[in-house]
Amino acid sequence: MTNPTFKPVVYVKENCPFCLKVRLFLLEAGMMEAVEIRDFAPGSKQEEDIRAELSPHLAQVSFPSAQLEPGRYIAESDDIIAFLAVKSGREPTSLPVFENYVEGPFKMMMNLWKENQQLKAAAV
């Protein structure tokens, strides 16, 4: 059964490109008040607490993660955005700042990361 008073909790790591994608969606879709954001700096006590909370619920802890409903945790930025998009009634591709980030700097970063992995593998 769903709990109408429960706000989804979004767990984000500072300066993480996947987390920024979720943050941009929340901001541009006007969803900041509809969720609780728990963010942390790498190496902080908050990180330790958040990892301890998430690890019993996720096969592999990664960020962003979210608790969509009480006890229902997920950890994939696109799945989190898809859930929030339904809740907000906003189509992510209709949000220009979000879309510019995903298709621009985010895509470029992912491509550079893949290229770097291939170059490293070829250099061994």
Ligand X SMILES: N[C@@H](CCC(=O)N[C@@H](CS)C(=O)NCC(=O)O)C(=O)O
Among 16, 37, 74, 82, binds ligand X (CB under 6 A): 16
The interface region with ligand X, picked from 26-34, 55-63, 94-102, 103-111 by CB under 6 A, is 55-63
User: Looking at beta carbons, which residue is closest to ligand X?
Assistant: 62
Taking the C-alpha atoms of residue 104 and residue 106, their distance in angstroms, rounded to an integer, is 6
Cβ-based nearer residue to ligand X, 9 or 16? 16
Among 18, 25, 40, 98, binds ligand X (CB under 6 A): 18
> What is the identity of the amino acid at 121?
A
Interaction with ligand X in 58-77: which residues (CB under 6 A)? 61-64, 76-77
What is the maximum span of the chain, computed from C-alpha positions, in angstroms? 54
Which residues of the shown chain bind ligand X in the complex (CB under 6 A)?
A: 13, 16, 18, 61-64, 76-77
